[in-house]
């Protein structure tokens, strides 16, 4: 049986992958990436988690995600890396360009005559602006919850039960979390409407969404690409239409076979050499 044809997609937006953390679903992301051929790929922040990055944890699958993405450049895919709070160290490289690869903090695209304003979204997060240490503490707690969730789901599978997302249940049940998400969306929409954008596209809050937001000043389509920690989603734009891609609904991607060796961890030297080599390959 031959390989299944990859889907051609005009634009794919990924955010909040958090490579280098235990919660990252790198192998599932790899399966998804192997089923698509994007003309343009936007990495909308928190791709490599530099807050919690540890050389003690960097599996081959995480490096393979980096290699696959940089390999897309050789296949005529334009890649725009927009910085987030977990990879804010890259903000000093804004306006960096090498061939079809660029780093920026935000970007405006024209899509069928409409303007799309794309950025990570942490600028709207009060804890990021005034209490960065508190935000980092929260990130550590979140990663711990993901670790506990992994153990719970392992037990659930052994007992023949469905997997659950503890972090998602916490978000959905805590009123302050629901209010934060709503405030985030409205704030992004308000500013986008004032600047006459047709679309405003964010990440950051790990909540995939696509909806029209109307205010007394106008309307805008708000989109959020979600994450690859709990939701495993992206945004796809093709033939003039947006959609939220959900890995849980993609049987073709789930069926992609990956080498077992991807489960292995890389040692410190291999991590460093691998990242350097991928960076050098961008210059070729």
Q: Model confidence over 149-204: pLDDT tens digits?
A: 666 666 766 777 776 665 565 555 544 556 777 888 989 999 999 999 999 999 99
Examine residue 241 and state whether it is found in any structural domain, yes or no.
Answer: yes
Average pLDDT (230-253) is: 96
- Count of domains for the chain: 1
Stated length of the chain: 284
Examine residue 174 and state whether it is found in any structural domain, yes or no.
Answer: no
Give the tens place of pLDDT for each residue, 83-107.
Answer: 988 777 888 888 899 889 999 999 9
Examine residue 268 and state whether it is found in any structural domain, yes or no.
Answer: yes
Examine residue 39 and state whether it is found in any structural domain, yes or no.
Answer: yes
What pLDDT does 230 receive?
86
Examine residue 168 and state whether it is found in any structural domain, yes or no.
Answer: no
Q: Across the chain, what does the average pLDDT equal?
A: 82
Other CB atoms within a 10 A radius of the CB of residue 101 amount to 19
Structural domain span for residue 236:
7-121+198-282
Examine residue 260 and state whether it is found in any structural domain, yes or no.
Answer: yes
Examine residue 152 and state whether it is found in any structural domain, yes or no.
Answer: no
Examine residue 128 and state whether it is found in any structural domain, yes or no.
Answer: no
Q: Is 1 exposed, middle or buried (0-12, 13-18, 19+ CB in 10 A)?
A: exposed
Whether the pLDDT of residue 208 is over 90: the answer is: yes
CATH code of the domain containing 72:
3.60.21.10
Higher pLDDT, 122 or 247: 247
pTM of the model: 0.80
What pLDDT does 137 receive?
41
Query: β-strands 36-44, 7-14: how paired?
Result: parallel
Q: Is 63 exposed, middle or buried (0-12, 13-18, 19+ CB in 10 A)?
A: buried
């Amino acid at each position: 049986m031959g390989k299944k044809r990859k889907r051609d997609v005009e634009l794919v937006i990924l955010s909040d992958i958090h490579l280098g953390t235990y919660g990252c679903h790198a192998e599932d992301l790899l399966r998804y990436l192997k089923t698509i051929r994007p003309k343009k790929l936007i990495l909308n922040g928190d791709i490599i988690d530099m807050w919690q990055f540890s050389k003690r944890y960097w599996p081959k699958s995480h490096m393979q995600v980096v290699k696959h993405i940089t390999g897309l450049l050789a296949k005529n895919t334009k890649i725009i890396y927009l910085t987030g709070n977990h990879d804010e160290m890259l903000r000093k490289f804004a306006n960096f360009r090498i061939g079809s690869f660029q780093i920026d903090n935000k970007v405006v695209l024209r899509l069928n005559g409409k303007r799309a304003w794309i950025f990570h979204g942490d600028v709207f997060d009060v804890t990021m602006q005034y209490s960065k240490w508190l935000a980092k503490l929260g990130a550590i707690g979140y990663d711990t919850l993901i670790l506990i969730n992994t153990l719970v789901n392992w037990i659930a599978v052994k007992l023949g039960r469905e997997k659950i997302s503890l972090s998602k249940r916490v978000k959905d049940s805590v009123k302050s979390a629901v209010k934060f998400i709503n405030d985030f969306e409205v704030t992004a929409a308000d500013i986008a409407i004032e600047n006459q954008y047709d679309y405003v596209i964010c990440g950051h809050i790990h909540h995939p969404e696509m909806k029209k937001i109307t205010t007394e000043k106008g309307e805008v389509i708000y989109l959020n690409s979600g994450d690859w920690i709990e939701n495993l989603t992206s945004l796809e734009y093709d033939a003039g239409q947006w959609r939220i891609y959900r890995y849980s609904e993609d049987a073709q991607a789930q069926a992609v076979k990956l080498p077992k060796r991807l489960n292995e961890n890389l040692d410190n030297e291999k991590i460093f050499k691998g990242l350097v080599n991928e960076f050098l390959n961008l210059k070729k």
